[in-house]
Copies of this chain bind each other. A is one copy, B any other.
Amino acid sequence: MSGGVAGPGVVRDTVRIFDTTLRDGEQAPGAGLTATEKLEVARQLARLRVDVIEAGFPAASDGDFAAVRHIAEEIRGGIAIAALARCRDGDPQRAIEAIKVAERPHLHVFIATSDIHLTHKLRIDRQQALAEAVRWVRHGREQLGRDAEIEFSAEDASRTDREFLLQVYEAVVEAGASTVNIPDTVGYSIPSEFGALVRSVVDRVGRDATVSVHCHNDLGLATANTLAAVQAGARQVEVTINGLGEHAGNASLEEVVMALRTRPTQFPELGTAVETEQIMPASRLVSYLTGFAIQPNKAIVGSNAFAHESGIHQDGVIKNPLTYEIMTPQSVGLSGSHLSIGKLSGRRGLQQKLRELGHEMEGAALDAIYREVIALADVKKEVTDGDLLALVEQRVSEVPASVRILGWNVTSSLGGRTTGLVSLDVAGENRTAEATGNGPVDALFSAVDEALQPALGWHPVLTEYEIKAVSAGEDAQGQTLVRCRRSSDEGPGALIVSGHGLSTNIIEASLEGYLVAINKLHGAEINGLAVGFVGGYSSRAP
């Protein structure tokens, strides 16, 4: 049996996995992705075999609309594509436009139902909220037809008057909703109470619609609340890869899915369709593209999740593999093999190795990676799995380059200022600049800024910078992450983009990352960039 369903035991009932990495996850500050990056994530989610991909919030911006539409056009194979919309004139129509080309469109409308939100935020009363909910659910059903999924969320459900909440769910189901979602918007429910809330909804509308939940992790209880909901009868769970999301994030897809898989006795006859071996590739891709690191002690996907250290623990594992491990590394896509790869492995050997690491590559893309592996093997003693993954990741993120580096030079010493010189091709024109700085990155980035300002009318402003060695040893590749905005673009709504660099020379890796960010800011991607915040259109909801 594939990795897709729960372990032993009959599966009679599936739990629908609704992934909202590209919508709620992407709202996390700094996690913004370009349209191309969103499509890459969607493709990986399809390999992971989630049931629904919530691709974005089309009314938020033209860029968001375009990204959702592309995903809806491309992703097939039975996976539904969802879009979020507020229950107000304009949003649902835009969302429908974006997803109606999908094989399986899934409209997700929401409105707040708690008195706190109604009074202080929306400034309407309960009856108005109910009327809007019914109106837009009905509209969605009429527009998308009988087979589409129409989902309604009551934002801040966990703080909503119970009877009013049930009344709203009943009304929207009557109006055509096939799924009702219960968000724990503030993230402070605890499992026993959230399970009870879900049970009351299941009792009221569970016969006529799928009950769904959407949990936030502000007290570290998102996974537990989600599982309690499943035990209480929920059959859709809204989750994100790595628990990505605003604040403390959302319920982690990997935690929820692996809990269901490894504890079948606690969730009798329930399963999911997820291909769990695709969990690690999904986790790495999302972490890389969003620049959101995963801490070593993150459940399932943290770097230590399957590492061993203490003597007694190792002792136990060696004697009987069941002593401590409850899920195998292979089941989540961690390669068991630690064979390093070198020049002699050849193209086919590389392809096989990449396959083990979760990446299918062929043709020109495989050739390109192969050349880079050869070059790396010249300057580095050992090419590790981490090196290969870094090389693959670097390609995912390629953007059209209107600004290129022609040359650079830097000298630095203890106690002295650093001098750097850089030579760029800016949309066909050569520009050179020299600058001093506190250190080599400071000096060279300043030189780049000086070269760009007269040509573009702005220079990049660095908001974040980090480098991490991809493997041990001084000859390791450094993988950089920079985040930048334009100097002409300030304030909370400023567009911030990320750029990655990869090189055994940290200066080169730094410049590479800087140039990727510059090209994102400058190039054709600008129109396609999804932004987390544009004048109030985005929403944490539900």
Contacts and interface: CB of A to CB of B under 8 A. Distances in A.
Interface of A: 27-30, 116-117, 120-121, 185-188, 190-193, 217-225, 227-228, 231, 242-249, 252, 255, 258-259, 262-263, 266, 292-300, 302, 304-316, 319-320, 322-327, 379-380, 405, 407-415, 418, 437-442, 445-446, 449, 461-469, 472-476, 478, 492, 503-509, 532-541
A58 B29 CA distance: 44
Contacts of A259: 190, 219-221
Given A117-B323, A121-B319, A474-B442, A297 B249 contact: yes
Nearest to A514: B474
A320 B442 CA distance: 42
How many subunits of this chain does the assembly comprise? 2
Contacts of A541: 312
A297 B245 contact: yes
Contacts of A223: 219-221, 224
A302 B31 CA distance: 15
A438 B441 CA distance: 16
B28 A297 contact: yes
Contacts of A504: 438-439, 442
A40 to B, nearest CB: 21
A300 B246 contact: no
B534 A311 contact: yes
Nearest to A379: B438
B405 A409 contact: no
Contacts of A294: 295
Given A220-B299, A293-B293, A475-B437, A191 B193 contact: no
A305 B248 contact: yes
A190 B411 contact: no
Contact of A27 (B220, B309, B503): B309
Nearest to A186: B326
A221 B224 CA distance: 6
Nearest to A320: B120
A503 B263 CA distance: 49
B227 A309 contact: no
Contact of A248 (B116, B218, B262, B299): B299
Contacts of A327: 218
Contacts of A304: 28-29, 246-249
A512 to B, nearest CB: 11
20 contacts: A28-B297, A29-B309, A116-B320, A192-B228, A219-B259, A221-B223, A248-B300, A292-B297, A310-B533, A311-B534, A311-B535, A314-B492, A409-B411, A438-B504, A439-B504, A440-B506, A441-B474, A441-B506, A462-B472, A506-B506
Contact of A540 (B120, B312, B326): B312
A427 B15 CA distance: 65
B316 A117 contact: yes
